[in-house]
Structure 1
Amino acid sequence: MQTFKTLLLREWMQHQRGWLVLLALPLLLVLGFGLFGEVHLDLRDDGGVDAVPPLGVAMVTILGAGGLSLVLAWMAALLQAPGLARRDVQDRSIEFWLSLPISHTQGVGAPLLMHLVLWPWIALLAGLAAGTLGSLLTVAQAYGPGAWFALPWTALLPAVALLALRLMLGTLLATLWLSPLILGTMAASAWLKRWGLPVVVGAVIGGGLLLERLYGMTWIWDTLRLLGTRASQALMVADRSGDGPHGFVIEHGDEIAGALSAMPGWLLHDAGQALLLLASPAFAAALAGGALAFGALWLRRARGA
């Protein structure tokens, strides 16, 4: 276990400079908006301005900073993923790592866990914390500092904490749904080096077009659409059937307090729906595809080239 923790720490040490920049960006945006922006939202159907109450300003700031941090971190991880597969070969450190008492499973699994799961979680929590602190400026800019201290923190903080847990679960589940694509691209990069990503993109697009034009089959497009839909449902708003508490719409400023009180129940329901989606042949097939790609990464590392 200590060895695995050390491998995770290695990922942080190698990427901490770029990751810290991404962590700081939402905070800087919130601070800039709080200092120089103007809080002005329209919640009325007739085009008139319905002033957002302090609670609404705080929620928008907190959720905006957290959501932006999560998106930036996840996109950065997906962009870096293909290069991780051949990093140790490129910098000629593969012989060193293979000489250590580290299993190939640990060597492959640690970067995947850090980049695709733990790093987005860290960014999300940091973004929510930055948004909470930044909300002092945005609320004070519109209503004065006293309004921030008067917010219903006993309801707001638990709702934000539960939202963080829901998004953390959603990030993990979405990554599992997309694992055939993510790990498949990494495996191709490990075996084909710089040609890996072009080959995968070409095979998917070319194969999809070929099947569709010659045989009228849309299997590849349907598979991509299914994986993308399930990943987005896993991340948030899993229940899109129209039945049950699948969300809420805020049309007036005085409805924000009610939405806050309903948020914990909705988040728990949504998390349950996301977990129910796992009980399907599609998820089993996605896991199988991800496992095959992981095995290809493991085999490439075992060969040490």
Structure 2
Amino acid sequence: MSHANAPLTPIGRRRLASLIVEDGWPVRRVAERFQVSPATATKWAARYRSGEALTDRSSRPHYSPARLPRKREHRIISLRFTRRWGPHRISYHLGIPRSTIERVLARYGMPKLTHIDQATGLPVRKPTVVRYEKSAPGELVHVDIKKLGRIPNGGGHRMFGRTIGNRNNQKRGLGYAFLHHAVDDYSRMAYSEILTDEKQETAAAFWERARDFFADAGVQVTAVMTDNGSCYRSRVFAQALGPHVTHRFTRPYRPQTNGKVERFNRTLAQEWAYAEVYTSEAARASTYDAWLHHYNHHRPHTGLGGLTPSDRVHNLTGNYS
């Protein structure tokens, strides 16, 4: 397709060529009349004589001698699909420039690693995915448990390296802190506690406190979604939910089903759990309530168009600001 400032359209090229071929005008005179170079006039006249179309040809070369052999391209795709490797690692493994790896992946339509199921390697969403969202607070609350390794006194290996971290963690096996979450699908408002285990009694008691939190904010919860963990399939947890709350379970091995709380876990890890240098588990835990308040009231959420969770739950700002 001709660009906006092109001196000749396909119709103009036909007129130019016709003057030369059929009317016998000199090339230079025609070129001067149409304000193009003699070489351009000669080109279109030659194509007109041979019966070719007077449209722009593709700039793609007929032959690419530097292109990877098909077998090599298939090796790249195989590594991406079977091992879930990105361009950097495939480049290092095969000794091929990363830019070449990226072009091959794009040519074969391979999705980004963030857009595939890590268990199966199959695409689960496209970059332009349309995310579902409930229409009001309380229609669905996502409940989950996030395990975090406890920080030894003096600091752990994530901030100080393996040598210092292992020295501080002399007793070994400090275990995990269990973060129980309840995240509202519509507003992303989160209630969370750091607890000592993931037993059914602990999960049930947490839900009762989470339910009270949402009720104080004016949110009536009608459905809860959890994974298939034993604590959530227990009779104790079912009794805590009560007869008026629908319990939904995620599909096995598909954490994307519980995506709102999974995204909350990632935000938590990036902006709180591993964002600062903590010298003990108690030091990190002491900052959690403040971070959670910041998340609910002051942190703009891209999924909400820049709003905070409290902006979508009118009673929350007044009660918990």
Please, what TM-score do these two structures have when normalized by structure 2?
0.20
Q: Which has the higher contact order (CA 8 A, sep 6+)?
A: 1
Structure with greater Cα Rg: 2
Please, what TM-score do these two structures have when normalized by structure 1?
0.20
If each structure's strand is expressed as a fraction of its own residues, which one has the higher value? 2
If each structure's helix is expressed as a fraction of its own residues, which one has the higher value? 1
